[in-house]
Chain A
Amino acid sequence: MDDNKKKQWTENTIFLVVILGCGLGVDNTYYLQIMTFIGINTLLALGLNMLMGYAGQVSLGHAAFYGIGAYTTAILSGTYGISPWAALVCAVSCAVFIAFVVGLPTLKLSGYYLGMGTLGFGMIVNILFREWSTVTGGSSGFVGIPMLEAGPVSFMSGRNYFFLVWMVVLVAVLLCRRILSSRMGRALRSIHDGENASLAVGVNTHFLKLQIFMFSAALGAVAGFLYAHFVMFISPESFGFMVSVKMVTMVVIGGMASVWGALLGASLLTLLPEVLHGFAEYEMIIFGLILMVVMIFMPQGLTRGLLDIYEHSRKRDKRHGN
Chain B
Amino acid sequence: MQEIIQYLFSGITTGAIYAVIAVGLSMLYSSTELINFAHGEFVMLGAMAIVTLWVHMALPLPLAFAGAVALGCCMGLLFERLAIRTARTPQPIVLVIITVGASIFLRGVAMIVWGKDPFSVPAFSRHDSIEIAGAALLPQSIWIVGAAVLLAGGIHFFLKKTLTGKAMVACAVNKKAAWLTGIPSEKMGILAFAVSTGSGAVAGIFIAPITMSSYDMGTMLGLKGFCAAMIGGLGSLWGAFAGGILLGVLESLGAGLISSGLKDAIAFILLLLILYICPGGLFSAKEAKRF
Contact = CB atoms under 8 A, between A and B. Distances in A.
- Direct touch of chains A and B (CB < 8 A): yes
B261 A288 contact: no
Given A127-B268, A248-B100, A290-B101, A285 B108 contact: yes
Contact of B279 (A113, A123, A281, A291): A113
Given A115-B37, A292-B101, A110 B269 contact: no
A56 interface: yes
B94 A288 contact: no
Contacts of A109: 275, 279
A81 interface: no
Interface residues of B, number: 47
Contacts of A283: 108
B74 to A, nearest CB: 18
Interface size band for A: 35 or more
Contacts of A128: 265
Contact of A292 (B35, B102, B223, B288): B102
Contacts of B105: 284-285, 287-289, 292
A134 B104 CA distance: 32
A286 B105 CA distance: 7
A36 to B, nearest CB: 26
B45 to A, nearest CB: 14
Contacts of A248: 97, 100
A127 B107 contact: no
B87 A296 contact: yes
Given A241-B219, A288-B108, A292-B105, A113 B288 contact: yes
A296 B88 contact: yes
Interface string A270-311: 000000000001111111111110011111000000000000
Contacts of A285: 104-105, 108-109, 112
A289 B109 CA distance: 11
A111 B87 contact: no
A110 B289 contact: yes
A130 B93 CA distance: 30
A105 B275 CA distance: 9
Interface in B251-291: 259, 261-262, 264-265, 268-269, 271-272, 275-276, 279, 288-289, 291
A127 B264 contact: yes
Nearest to B33: A112
Contacts of B93: 56-58, 111, 115
Nearest to A111: B92
Contacts of A196: 291
A291 B264 contact: no
A39 interface: no
B169 to A, nearest CB: 19
6 contacts: A109-B279, A116-B35, A124-B268, A196-B291, A287-B101, A291-B98
Given A245-B100, A288-B107, 4 more contacts: A117-B272, A283-B108, A287-B108, A288-B104
Interface of A: 56-58, 60, 105-106, 108-113, 115-117, 119-121, 123-124, 127-128, 130-131, 196, 241-242, 245, 248, 252, 281-292, 295-299
Interface of B: 35, 37, 83, 86-89, 91-98, 100-109, 111-112, 219, 223, 226-227, 230, 259, 261-262, 264-265, 268-269, 271-272, 275-276, 279, 288-289, 291
